[in-house]
A and B are shown apart, each in its own frame.
Chain A
Amino acid sequence: GAVVSQHPSRVICKSGTSVKIECRSLDFQATTMFWYRQFPKKSLMLMATSNEGSKATYEQGVEKDKFLINHASLTLSTLTVTSAHPEDSSFYICSAPLQGSGGEQFFGPGTRLTVL
């Protein structure tokens, strides 16, 4: 199957700093990637759709100035959590659909963000 990677896998930062998370499709190109957030014992909540070469589409209630998304190439999307606060602590996961697979999506291993 297709492989999606994320970096870093875990990050701890102080309140007020910005954190960048990378999502890469390693063996396929992805014009679209998706960013999810997951709280403990909860399901995945879609935050935004990342579109290569254009602006991201954010879900209702997600602050676009808080969660900056850049899809600079066909294999890389980045999520930057700006001025992070403790309530931003969560598990962030990205996914990418593999073209020609009937819409099957492949997920990264996730990034655990802890804001102190």
Chain B
Amino acid sequence: KQEVTQIPAALSVPEGENLVLNCSFTDSAIYNLQWFRQDPGKGLTSLLLIQSSQREQTSGRLNASLDKSSGRSTLYIAASQPGDSATYLCAVMYNQGGKLIFGQGTELSVKP
């Protein structure tokens, strides 16, 4: 069964800290992996997309890595800010144009 797991479920850090969110998937034959941000009551905002052939992607203070062989991805957030507070979801796609399988999300709170 193809499953995606995110650890931790919740994380609270003081402003300015660097942090890492973890995502693991049971079937390593992925097509791509996508990280999203969701604010309460809102839709999903795409943060980073990593293709199966890539090792990492960067956007501003965000860096996502992918290790297919071990079935893991991490989202690194540098110099966290209160505005980064949200739920972060990772999702895996196994076929081009196919459905996404989501992890349970990590609820991040950055305290001023």
A contact set with B: CB distance below 8 Å = 1, 6, 32, 34, 42-44, 46, 49, 91, 93, 95, 97, 99, 101-110, 112
Contact A34 B36 (CB under 8 A): no
Expressed in whole angstroms, the Cα–Cα distance for A115 and B79 within the complex equals 42
Interface hit among B11-19, B42-50, B70-78: B42-50
Counting residue pairs across A and B whose Cβ atoms lie within 8 Å, the total is: 60
Q: Which of A43, A46, A103, A109 contacts B89 (CB 8 A)?
A: A43
Pairs of residues from A and B, 7 with the lowest C-beta to C-beta distance, nearest first = A107-B44, A109-B43, A110-B43, A43-B102, A104-B49, A107-B43, A43-B104
A44-B34 CB under 8 A given contacts A102-B49, A106-B46: no
Contact A1 B46 (CB under 8 A): yes
A43-B105 CB under 8 A given contacts A103-B96, A103-B97, A105-B34: yes
Contact A105 B31 (CB under 8 A): no
Expressed in whole angstroms, the Cα–Cα distance for A108 and B45 within the complex equals 9
Contact A93 B43 (CB under 8 A): yes
Contact A105 B43 (CB under 8 A): no
Instruction: Determine chain A's interface SS by DSSP, over half rule.
Output: strand
A105-B46 CB under 8 A given contacts A42-B104, A44-B102, A95-B100: yes
Instruction: Point out the residues of chain A lying under 8 angstroms from B44, CB to CB.
Output: 44, 93, 95, 107
Contact B99 A46 (CB under 8 A): yes
Minimal Cβ-Cβ distance residue in B for A4: B43
Instruction: Point out the residues of chain B lying under 8 angstroms from A34, CB to CB.
Output: 99-100
B91 to chain A, nearest CB (A): 8
Minimal Cβ-Cβ distance residue in B for A30: B97
Minimal Cβ-Cβ distance residue in B for A57: B99
Expressed in whole angstroms, the Cα–Cα distance for A8 and B108 within the complex equals 28
Instruction: Point out the residues of chain B lying under 8 angstroms from A106, CB to CB.
Output: 46
Expressed in whole angstroms, the Cα–Cα distance for A44 and B42 within the complex equals 12
The answer to whether B7 has its CB under 8 Å from any CB of chain A is: no
Q: Which residues 50-99 of B sit at the A interface, judged by CB distance below 8 A? A: 51, 89, 91, 93, 96-99
Expressed in whole angstroms, the Cα–Cα distance for A102 and B49 within the complex equals 8
